Amino acid sequence: MTVRILGLVGSLRAGSHNRQLAEAAVKLAPEGVDLVLYEGLADVPFYNEDIDAEGSVPAAAARLREAAGEADAFLLFSPEYNGTIPAVLKNAIDWLSRPFGAGALSGRPVAVIGTAFGRYGGEWAQNEARKAVGIAGGTVLEDVRLSVPDSVNRFAELHPADDAEVAGQLAGVLTGLSAAVPARV
């Protein structure tokens, strides 16, 4: 059985260290794990219940929901913006939380990881993302974590995939997340 994980990157910047961390996770995914990074979060409009009605859901939001509907689990990569979760990631969580009680996140395993310039590696933002995902109905894996501090210096000349310590930790995250996916019958 192949476990399908949808990765959501909370930074839109092409050279983002969280984007690099996500790329490393794709590269390091173990056999039986298919990690796909969702492209297009920048196109999803801010959540508005007025436009979230049958027949009027924006195409970009519908595509996000469709991709999420095909996933067995989710891996969120969160930088820290002003001590909290980036708006683009929160917006994705909002769209995936609906319809209430039956959104794409509902009952599915979710892990939140990331890197940031500060000495805590973005833990505040990651905790906020875990809180939002839990309220949205996702099954937050509290013990599957990775916060890489000092990203600006640590990844100045080294891609996360080439950092042995980070690569090992990413492999552990992917193994832990895929193990949380219930077996299909």
Dihedral pair phi/psi, residue 101, rounded to 5°: 85, -10
Specify if 88 maps to a domain: yes
Specify if 184 maps to a domain: no
Specify if 148 maps to a domain: yes
Specify if 109 maps to a domain: yes
Domain residues for the domain of 114 are: 3-179
Instruction: Look at the chain and report how many structural domains it folds into.
Output: 1
* 111 beta partners: 75
Q: What is the pLDDT of residue 185?
A: 57
Q: What is the pLDDT of residue 1?
A: 85
Q: What is the pLDDT of residue 183?
A: 83
Specify if 185 maps to a domain: no
* Sheet-wide strand order for 3-9: 33-37, 3-9, 73-77, 109-115, 139-148
Q: What is the pLDDT of residue 101?
A: 84
- This prediction's pTM: 0.97
CATH classification at residue 140: 3.40.50.360
- 102's CB contacts (< 8 A; 6+ apart) are none
Q: Which of 139, 144, 173 is nearest to 21 (CA)?
A: 173
Tell me the per-residue pLDDT of 14-26, one tens digit each, with 9 for 90 and over: 899 999 999 999 9
Dihedral pair phi/psi, residue 110, rounded to 5°: -135, 130
Tell me the per-residue pLDDT of 35-71, one tens digit each, with 9 for 90 and over: 999 999 999 999 999 999 989 999 999 999 999 999 9
